[in-house]
Structure 1
Amino acid sequence: MSTEKLLTFPDAAAMTLSIRAKALLFHDARSVSLLQDIERVAQSEATVLVVGETGTGKELVARHIHKCSGRSGPFLAVNCGAFSETLIDAELFGHEVGAFTGAGQARAGWFEAANGGTLFLDEIGDLPLALQVKLLRVLQERQVVRLGSRRPIPLDVRLVAATNVDLRRAVEAQHFRADLYYRLSVAALELPPLRGRRGDILPLARHFMSVYAGKLAFGSSREKGVTLSPEAESALLAYAWPGNIRELENVIHYALIVCKDGVVRASDFRFSPLVPLVAGLAPGEPVVAPPADTRPSGPYDALAQALQALLEQRPAGIFQTVESLLVRRAYAQCRDNQVQAAKLLGVTRNTLRTLLKRHGLLRDNQGDDDPRAGTHGPARDPVGSAATAATH
């Protein structure tokens, strides 16, 4: 029998504009197993590497590790991609007076500030190679030397690192040090994407509904609460969730704003039109998570899966439809600017003009000197309708 545990930020109510996943729930059998691994790892002093897509809740995992570790010091979170290469050294390891221009006073780095507690380094794959060497030394020697100093400072810090990239491939490409990778991955935890733990989707959706229902007025239905219709539940389960928990929260928030009579229906959801349904299923059909080795790990993998589903259905005019959708989307993204659209697609402007004509976005006699040619041509389908494309 599955259990259910919810992790949230202590100040979640003040994180309205945050881009992070603000809740992590362990209801799905795969999630329950992961929670057990997390809590076992937390009891050790091993460095932890949390691997997962953006929006899956990596920081919440790190916070739970800290909570279960019994450490009395603080939990501090740092995004390695948020600092410039010239500042990240001083930010992580601290600096002395005069260490660089503008260093008017000594300052402790994040490692010192987290002494006795846990330091969470998010997006560790963005750390410059020179800093990777220094980080490895800190982990091995358990001491830090401030920029501009020669005096080592002892440390008692538990490090939890996280990444949304494949560090093994980064090592092969010589973008990440192999020795640091092996040092970080002593205890590696893989956080599955939301589409890989589908048993968590509906409980998470109901959690976000309860969070936002109290902030929005629903008239007489407010006291009764807001419910999900059966077709809404099916739609949530059939969607692939490329943005993971963060996207689910946004979809639920919008649905609560537009829903009527306290009932959220499938038509209230605002999904991305370019994201395929899981395994090509229609809402309402049984949903089975794909095997781990075929689960998409990025935009191109998701696109490949969508194309595979289309090819299996053998629709008429598939090449023209896919080509039309790509051209229309790129042209609209660049506000009908031929030069920018050609750059976006990586083709010459002449090639782009041929494509625009082929799909009815440009008149044959439209001038080459107009970079926004096509604006006055035949009306375009704003969503790149497959039906329209198939007629060309």
Structure 2
Amino acid sequence: MVQEMQNASVSAPGSTECGFIESFVRRYPVRILETLLCDRTTGRNIIWADNEYVGLGDGYMGDDEITVGRITEVNTDIIKPRIEKERERQALRTKSRAEVFTPSWLCNQMNNDLDERWFGRRDVFNVEVENGWKAAVDPVVFPVKKKGRGWHAYVEVPWLEITCGEAPFVCSRYDTVSGDVLPVDERIGFLDRKLRIVNEKTKTKKEWVRRALDALRASFGYEFQGDNLLIARINVFETFCEHYRNRWGTLPDTEALEKAAWIVSWNFWQMNGFTDAVPTNQMGAVVASTLGSFEEPAPKPAQLSLFDMLDGEFGGDPFEDDGVASEGESEITTPLCVIYDWKNNQPIEFAGLKGEVRSMTNERTNERTNERTLLCGNR
């Protein structure tokens, strides 16, 4: 089940002589990588989140941002998929962060379980064999006369992989155990399945891109560690591109690439699953809502105005803190994570969705469909 990707190097384990990140930046404009590094909650970049890389010096502490310069050129081999990491590092991460990756065949089995609920039958996308699968060749047939079970609904129903790691439930670009690149037609992630339907149901490039972007908007995941999150984002973005190339023989145009990267940077976010907030190594940090305050606050005046001086003259010293303000300013906070509600075209806090998953699903789907929305992740 190994496929040689033609016409371009592939950012996947063992597929090229260059590193995972280097092969990516060779293929796409640097602004795509910059977008995939964005943290939409903080307005900055995602962070490392742990101290695995502190030996590299300044810029690699847990709360430091991951930047293009810190992971490219001489630093291009820093971020690697799990299969390429040294055995010692894998064991350390497994112990310290409970980082356990699910075999691809098991990801397929679990996705098949969910599809069985949708279609009312087994073996829709593939037939399971021992520790593997065989892809179905015939076009997918949807339930007849069953409201909310058409192909549009399937593409648009939201799926979420929790603690997603490198996103093996979302997209299966490579086998999580061997690292072998999987042929596009044999992939088993839930985004892969949505894009297969898009391939089968669309006739033009324009329609394909529109429906494929719908599939991206309906695919979600969160992860604690910054390196894993970046790999997941790249895998999801590359999945969009590889399915397009598999159908049309070329990469999407620049506009489609930028739209895809933008969606991925919103839908796959960095979060501490215990607090629903951006990870931090700051002791005593308080979780706080920042929804509606994404714009940077206006800078304070560099000099006092005449009215400031008069305020000091008549009952208030502008050079002296009142105590309360200084206490508030010294409080360390970390924001609740913000994602995007594409249906209502507005940012929302993920914490507010707990117990209200139905609000994110398409109106055409019924209560049974919501069982698909939350998917067990890698821990």
Q: Which bin holds the TM-score, normalised by the shorter protein?
A: under 0.3
Bigger radius of gyration: 1
TM-score, normalization by structure 1: 0.24
TM-score, normalization by structure 2: 0.24
Structure of greater relative contact order (alpha carbons < 8 Å, 6+ residues apart): 2
